[in-house]
Structure 1
Amino acid sequence: MKLSDDGFDARRLRPRGSGNWRWRALGALAALFAACGVMLSMAGAATLLGRPPALGPLNDSAGAAIVLLLFGLFLLWGGVNVWRRCRRRMRRQYGNDLSLSPRLLKKRG
């Protein structure tokens, strides 16, 4: 690619970043935590509603079921928040649009 005399470099218009796999892996781990949170909260709610315990002796009392429900909801909330932050970071950092200078976007006239 030819560089002009005024210092313009076309490669700066589309920055290529490395490290996208880190955000993807963290997002996948967060989605896994959110899925585990759904399962744990469903098991705790099933015990509280009078169904047989889903996890055996781990949640056979009402207190243990409440703890399991709250821990599952917290895990779900944390997993969804981390997943959303990872997606936002990936889109902001590695967008498909051109990153033009504000000087180039001014209207001429």
Structure 2
Amino acid sequence: AATAPGRDEAFLPSPAVQNHASFLVELPDGAVICTWFGGSLEGKSDISIRAAILLPDANQWGPVSTLSDDPDHSEQNPVIFPAPDGRLWLFHTSQPSGNQDECRV
């Protein structure tokens, strides 16, 4: 829905209680992907990477997808990289629930 000249908004509801570290990337076709991590509490093992796509000229995000779901780890800080070959790469951190000292990418 238009809010001001040259500015549009598209609301993105989330299925999680806590949501952090959103990352936006525009794809060559003009679509935008938003990734973030969410769950009950940062560091808990139910924290997963989520994503939604905003198609060009849309005023509503597509459905939220869960991109990671490791029941033993908290997955955080996502980054999407559109590779030159057209594939999308997802990078994120992962740590055993509550243990940042063992975090890995």
The structure in which a higher percent of residues are strand is 2
Which of these two proteins has the greater Rg computed from alpha carbons?
1
TM-score, normalised with respect to structure 2: 0.21
Structure possessing the higher relative contact order (Cα contacts under 8 Å, 6 or more residues apart): 1
